[in-house]
Amino acid sequence: MAQSHKSFLGRMTRSRIFAGAAIAALVGGAVAAFAVTWRPAIEFVEPPAPQSFDPALVKRGRDLAAMGNCSDCHTVKGGKDFAGGLPVPTPFGAVYSSNITPDPETGIGRWSEAAFRRAMRAGVDRAGHHLYPTFPYDHFTNVTDEDDRALYAFLMTRRAVRAPAHANDLAFPFNQRFVVAGWKLLFLKGGTYKADGAQSAEWNRGAYLVEGLAHCGACHTPRNALGAEKPSASFSGADVDNWHAYAINAQSPSPLPWTTEALFHYLRYGWDSDHGVARGPMAEVAANLSSVPESDVRAIAVYMTSVFGPPPQATRADLKSPSARSTPADDPGALIYQAACATCHEAGSPLPYSGINLRLSTALSAPEPRNAANVILGGIRPVGGERSPIMPGFANSMTDEQIAALLNYLRGRFSTKAAWSGIEQIVRDARRTDTVSLQSAPGSSTTSGVSTQREKP
């Protein structure tokens, strides 16, 4: 994949363009592009009967859909599976996910397999409209026909839900779908995944999944002014949904290097003793990976280990020394840590039910304190019906100033990195967006869809 990314590079180096100029160029380019990228409608089909699909194919499609994390965007919390309607915030406005249940009127019930494949491969719906790249077809283009067939079989055998599409909330010109045609000319590279003969079959399987269906880069790779992933900064970390998706390449802020074994455990079980617990949007990814073939999770771990690069020299000896204290003992953050946090985080009990030793915390070694602030405010909520890690949130008992003092202390005490700046503003933002809501919104009680997803055959 590194190779294919490089081929983008020439077009991409003019990275930072002023938005106005970009829009003008984009509209002009898009009009011309329209002619090139126009796609016809694909005829309706009679909705295929669920029993017409081979159960083994449906089962494979189910595992693939879990690896593709389809339900996270296509299911509203507390809503019907795959019925869409989730607003996905972008710098250009909100795009609402679509209904991918087999409902003939509002879903994809009358889509042929060819129409489904075209959507995955080229980001064009059955009627010939360009789909917004919030649907990550820049990754899904890598998916094989065979896997698209299994995904189609899985989705067409779900319960049909009548749920009309929610209108997108985009400003001009982004509300014009032909603009997407221009975007595609610039950024969409067609063609399925090409195996690298120099690598093992397992590595290639992992690369196929990571770069394709699992679309890891959609969150972990920063985007340019036009919302496309920057191939030059592949996997170097980005802000998503009020969380920071860490760099998962050589720039990883993790205090201990990620090994294949650690990655496998983290992705499969949602935690690793050297790295802690998956939370935020990653918790849902790990939950989905808990039920797919183990060999696929291992393949992802093998490939990602090579993305992280050769193991750096960091070992346990390089962790922040427990005796090193850069702040006086009467520092307000130190007092809060001792009184409210140390009971669990210094208990020395095994993960995932006890607090991690914070010297191992990626959040405290990250470039910004956003994730740490989110977790202190909202805690880690238990997953309904499962044994899962849990941490109480402190939003109701700590002020922004107290959390800022605590974060400042934690950074100095447990990370070898330089002090954070602007902590208070980040804490205020985190409280405002209320990421892990303890002030429950309707249906926010569980990571809904995840546990039901796990129970599916």
Partner 1 sequence: MTTLKVNGHDHEIDADPDTPLLYVLRDELKLNAAKFGCGLGQCGACTVIVDGKAVLSCVTPLLLLKGKAVTTLEGLGTIEKPAPIQRAFTEEQAAQCGYCIAGMMMRAQALLQRNPKPTDDQIRGELQINLCRCGTHMRILRAVHRAAHLMDTAELTTNNQGGAQ
Give the residues lining the site for partner 1 (CB under 8 A).
Answer: 78, 335-336, 338-340, 343-344, 379, 381-382, 384, 390-392, 394, 396-398, 402, 438-446
Tell me the C-alpha distance between 401 and 173, whole Å: 42
- What three-state secondary structure class fits 206? helix
Host H or E run for residue 266: helix 260-269
Which residue type occupies 120?
M
> Which one, 421 or 439, has the nearer CB to partner 1?
439
Tell me the C-alpha distance between 122 and 137, whole Å: 7
Tell me the C-alpha distance between 72 and 144, whole Å: 22
The least distance separating partner 1 from the CB of residue 298, rounded to whole angstroms, comes to 32
The least distance separating partner 1 from the CB of residue 373, rounded to whole angstroms, comes to 16
Tell me the C-alpha distance between 106 and 54, whole Å: 25
Number of residues written out for the chain: 457
> Which one, 92 or 394, has the nearer CB to partner 1?
394
The least distance separating partner 1 from the CB of residue 393, rounded to whole angstroms, comes to 9
The least distance separating partner 1 from the CB of residue 456, rounded to whole angstroms, comes to 23
> Which one, 35 or 339, has the nearer CB to partner 1?
339
The least distance separating partner 1 from the CB of residue 183, rounded to whole angstroms, comes to 38
> Which one, 175 or 445, has the nearer CB to partner 1?
445
DSSP calls for 288-319: HHTTS-HHHHHHHHHHHHHHH-S--S--GGGS
> Which one, 48 or 355, has the nearer CB to partner 1?
355
Tell me the C-alpha distance between 289 and 11, whole Å: 35
Host H or E run for residue 152: helix 145-156
Around Cβ 371, how many Cβ atoms within 10 Å?
A: 23
The least distance separating partner 1 from the CB of residue 441, rounded to whole angstroms, comes to 7
The least distance separating partner 1 from the CB of residue 229, rounded to whole angstroms, comes to 35
> Which one, 306 or 354, has the nearer CB to partner 1?
354
The first and second tokens of residue 5, run together, are: 């990314």
- What three-state secondary structure class fits 170? strand
> Which one, 207 or 407, has the nearer CB to partner 1?
407
